[in-house]
Amino acid sequence: MRLLKRVITAVTRPGYAFQHILQGRLFNPAINRTLERLGGVSLMARLTNWSIDCVGWRPGRDTVLVLDRLYFSKDVTELRRLGACNYVNLHTHVLSVTQANWLPEELQEQISYWPRTRPEHAAAWAKAEAYADAVLTQARQRFGAKAVLASNVDYWQHESFRRACQRQGIPFLVLCQEQQTVPFTYDVGLKLYRDADFRYTGTAVAVFEGRTRDMLIECDCCTPDQVAITGAPRLDPWFDGTVKPAPADTLTLLAYDGDQYFAPNCYLEALRVFADASLAHGDKGIDFVLKCKDAEDQARAIGHLEGVDHRLVLTHERTLPELFSRSRLVMGYNTLAILEALLSPAEIAVPAWSDADRPRAEQIVDTGDAESRKHYLVLDGPEAWRAMLDHAVATPRPAVDTRARRQLLRRWFHVPEDGCASRAVEAFIRSYFVGDSATPTQTAMPRAAE
């Protein structure tokens, strides 16, 4: 055991040759379980501390420990770029795999862990809390972390860290990624929180717009003084000149696979049409890009296209500003990305056929709204989609009314007066710093705990 600890201490020093290789291996569930049996909470906390991403860390700055997730990284990237704090990232995958060693499966579910927690779970939570307490203590020693920032109010993986923050007297904050843009899902969210009798017992929550604030308050998840409206940092590149004009050489389909979008059948038809069009126009110098949400989404798309001839470019890694700035046309359904497209120079289309022809309350873009129809082309069938693609290939990208589009975007996103949500979020975070109670800001590159 002592030898194992020495090895772990050695490989977790910055600069160790195998650090990045081991980082991906140690949080494999099977290996992780073995390590937990060998070293318990202490070893798991040290490994977790080592996994924290401190790229871009600068001495002399206040530091925020971010409990990161895949889509949250869009906002954290902008906070790192535009903010005056250090944002060091601890990925939620690490927390999931590690805490699964102690917490039973019935507690490993968003929202539901709250009502399912019973007295017999006390020992499991005690281990998870001891782990979080050790990780947080080490992060404060290593980085001088003054706050923890999570991406939602109700993730089970973050509950132990909320409790650790409470014990250590530092703020547990949320920049909420779940946005109430569809009226139907607003009602679903109300019911979920009310049925669970869920209460957010962290410090405060920042949201992208007012409806999410309304929902969190209406269901008694949060009190009014806990919720601030800041806007979405991910949109900042569109407002600060970071996104530059680019050749209009791309047509983009935003994947809307899965029941969460309400239109899986329409998506499969749209994908087939898009694939056919990519072949028909393969010699025109236009990229047909299928923008997937993540690697899993892209793998499903590959499965859908098995045996289908096409010249599509599939990606989940290209950013929306990079892609949209080059797009002549963007098409998608019930995704926040179709709203962000309003900031781009591209034409935008939404489907209204098959299972995408839904009641207005189940759509992000209300296709029955006159103002929305000025900026979104509504497609009534796969034939209209194909005709739109052919037209986009054959004609230059038309001019768009940027000012009117930005005004429409404000239906779904709060935009600060200066256009910089990152500054608003950082002001929100700083307002909860507890004086000098955290470890003083570091002045040298932090080392992993020993």
Which of 146-150, 287-291, 384-388, 431-435 is least confident? 431-435
- pLDDT at site 11: 47
pLDDT tens digits along 93-115: 999 999 999 999 999 999 999 98
Q: How many CB atoms lie within 10 A of CB 156?
A: 21
Do domains 2-232+422-430 and 250-409 share one topology? The answer is: yes
DSSP assignment string, 312-326: EEEESSS-HHHHHTT
Tell me, what's the pLDDT at 32?
84
pLDDT of residue 258: 85
In the numeric block, which tokens belong to residue 246?
């680019």
For 76-99, the DSSP string reads HHHHHHH-SSEEEEEEHHHHHHHH
How many C-beta atoms lie closer than 10 Å to residue 56's C-beta? Answer: 11
Confidence at residue 34, expressed as pLDDT on a 0 to 100 scale: 87
Positions of E strands within 321-367:
327-331, 347-351
The CA R_g of the chain, rounded to the nearest whole Å, is: 23
Question: Is the pLDDT confidence value at 319 over 50?
Answer: yes
**CATH top class, domain 2-232+422-430:** alpha beta
Residue 28: predicted pLDDT: 82
d(CA 422, CA 429): 10
Question: Smallest Cα–Cα separation from 269: which of 142, 133, 107, 384?
Answer: 384
Find how far residue 20's CA is from the centre of its chain: 23
The reported pLDDT for the residue numbered 296 is 94
- The pLDDT assigned to 305 comes to 98
pTM confidence score: 0.91
Q: How far is it, in rounded angstroms, from Cα 150 to Cα 215?
A: 19
Whether residue 173 contacts residue 205, with contact meaning beta carbons closer than 8 Å, is answered with: yes
Report pLDDT for 25: 64
- pLDDT at residue 21 above 70? no
For residue 5, pLDDT beyond 70: no
Judge whether residue 2 has pLDDT over 70: no
Judged against a pLDDT cut of 60, whether residue 277 lies above it is answered with: yes
Average of per-residue pLDDT across 39-47: 93
For residue range 229-275, what is the model confidence (pLDDT) as tens digits?
Answer: 999 999 999 999 999 999 999 999 999 998 889 999 999 999 999 99
CATH fold of 250-409 reads Rossmann fold (3.40.50)
Segments making up each domain of the chain, as ranges: 2-232+422-430, 250-409
Question: pLDDT of 189-236, one tens digit each?
Answer: 999 999 999 999 999 999 999 999 999 999 999 999 999 999 999 999
**Sheet containing 63-68: which strands, arranged edge to edge?**
86-91, 63-68, 145-150, 172-175, 204-207, 227-229
At residue 448, the pLDDT reads: 53
Q: Rounded to an integer, what distance in angstroms lies between the CA atom of residue 385 and that of residue 340?
A: 21
> What does the pLDDT average to over 319-347?
98
Choose between 4 and 117: higher pLDDT.
117
pLDDT above 70: residue 440? no
Round to whole Å and give the CA distance between 288 and 331.
12
Alpha carbon distance 296, 311 (integer Å): 20
